[in-house]
Structure 1
Amino acid sequence: MAKHILLIIGGGIAAFKSLDLIRRLRERGHQVTPVLTRAGAEFVTPLSVSGLAAAKVYQDLFDLTDEAEMGHIELSRAADLVVVAPATADLMAKMAGGHANDLASTLLMATDKRVLIAPSMNVRMWEHAATRRNLATLQGDGILVVGPNEGDMACGEYGPGRMAEPMEIVAAIEAALTDGPLKGKHVLVTSGPTHEPIDPVRYIANRSSGAQGTAIARALLGLGAQVTFVTGPADVPPPHGVTVVPVQTAAQMQAAVRDALPADAAVFAAAVADWHVKGASDSKIKKDGKGLPKLTFAENPDILAQVSGLREGRPKLVVGFAAETDDVIANATAKRKRKGCDWIVANDVSPATGIMGGSENDVTLITADGSEDWPRMGKDAVAARLAQRLADALG
């Protein structure tokens, strides 16, 4: 169904992607009303934006013709969704601080509709403590986020901060506009393995492909949830429309999970390594003929137990996974009690099952009420069933 999108174009080199975003939205029948910030107009012209949107471009808060009818109020509430792409560090700071000193920030303060942002900035700006605080504030306020991605920057640096691609933003927009049972809910999902370094070229890992976690994130998104997807170096790419946080190690995943809270529910599908090498070498370990290198192991943080045990900010529903090779139900039941989570999804990952890294799963859902065996099915089907159960539980 065609919807009305209010698109705020911030000032950054990624503003050029907003032109393609407008085109993609119009192809799908959506109406786009563009708002171009003063800085945004340094990167794209009002004429090009207006031509693609087939609509007037709004730029000035003090346009007397529009303000005679309180145009900024009308603009902020006539759309079905407000999208900010690119969302610069400055715009995010204004949103988090409640500023309203130009048209874009005033619209964002005055709107009664959901807001989706697509952050875009230099990697150092994205990783700055102030930006992390602002992001946490915005997510706590219910602001939806898509991206940013990792890659080469226009400034020559590499890392997270690239604005999500137009089709990723389209997917996030359409998910936000979907009326599903999880609309307005924020769900955190972890996925994939972690890589614990031995030296710069070697690491400890496992055979997790990330397929089940990715399928769960996609299913939750389909039910209308806002999904933060914290993923290790998985084989399966993350779904479009979720907020992707890539990590490598268990310690990085722990920090990413902490930053992603608060959430209404958390699903810990990642296969986090139990140990890391203490004092990993900064240079490649060489064979020197003097025997095997001595590696000392230390335990990784127990992310599931930490979140389950939170006194403040604990998600209403915490779901863990138990990948076992023997005594599956007994071990998983004990794990649920030990970790303090609400549910455990248990599966047998013995080599003979073909589940680890495969396309199917055979799970048992364990709750405080007992265990429930599910038939073997594709991982997408498992994800759909689990997402619906989660939606039912959150009410």
Structure 2
Amino acid sequence: MTTNTGGLPPTPSMTDEAYGKLRTLAAVWAGTSVLITNRRGQVLIQRVGYRPTCLLPGGAVDRGESPAQGAARELEEELGVTAAVTRGLAVDWVSPTGRTTPSAMRFPGELLHVFDGGVWDEAQIAAIRPRPGEIEAVEFAEPADLPALMAPDDARRALSALRARINGAGPVFLEDGVPIAPTVLDRVGVLRTARARHHLPFHSALVPDGLTVRQSWSWAFAPDGRALVLLEPDTGAACLPGGTPEPEDGGDPMATAVREAREEAAAELGGIRYLGYLSDPGEPCARVRYAAVLTRLGPAPLDPATGRTYVRILATPEQALELFDWGPSATEQLQAAHQARALLGIPRAAHQPVTELPGPISW
């Protein structure tokens, strides 16, 4: 056993008192916080009277208290909410140089645990009772807005924990908010820019005559039930394969979906089924959705429309939705996609980490 004791390792003859003193010299703080989102994927943050930036619910771990116990206590003290906290998302080593603190504080570094508070519905949110005198306000913020609202290390930690929750591989270890083993979601930086926002009504019906189709997108399912999602390498923004109709499509939205999947992702689709369309009140048009079987991927291409080579991943439909801001219609779209998936003979995907698809693959 070794410990950071200023270059003086413990020896077999060391007394318990001496060993304890050495360990005390290497002590760090312990903190805890809780990541909570609403059903739109926005993150709960608190405005506090003692700091100019916002925080996740949480605080210092009390003596003799576990980090999970501390997280539950902080939820009750700060939000007036009683909840069990059982699932960890991240453990962050906050170095003495990773946080700006007054020199008089003699900050020795901190191990800060981030727990999953879950997705709160309207009733849970309405039950919040902020602690008077400490919590000035509670709000839900878009993930991309966190760096502007929180201190840099707090924002990095919150986004890393949120990506870990979406990825679903278990808790991640961070150093000053940065994963020591980054996933593709971390490497591309998903959620650091505004999510695609389409708060539009979904209709599981044919596009009415005379309504122009502006977009055609596909839920392209691999045999394991996961869907193809494209990530922009320079912004981390996510999209499903699809795009705008071109003259060569002959006015056929399905032809648009097939062509766009091929151009953007070198993806070949089969068994295409129509799901419905989104109507846009501000611009009378239809944005069509399909489901299809993903049969093959070629080498990652350069998209002629954007000049980018997308990062291709497989994600469960539920994971994919967390990368978008589709509003109330997201649930209807998800249900339609799952119904079509079942009709295509594809099983429902088990929850699992996302998978990057850098090279060609056939199914």
Q: Which has the higher helix share?
A: 1
Larger Rg: 2
TM-score of the pair, normalised by structure 2? 0.26
The structure whose RCO (Cα within 8 Å, separation 6+) is larger is: 2
TM-score of the pair, normalised by structure 1? 0.25
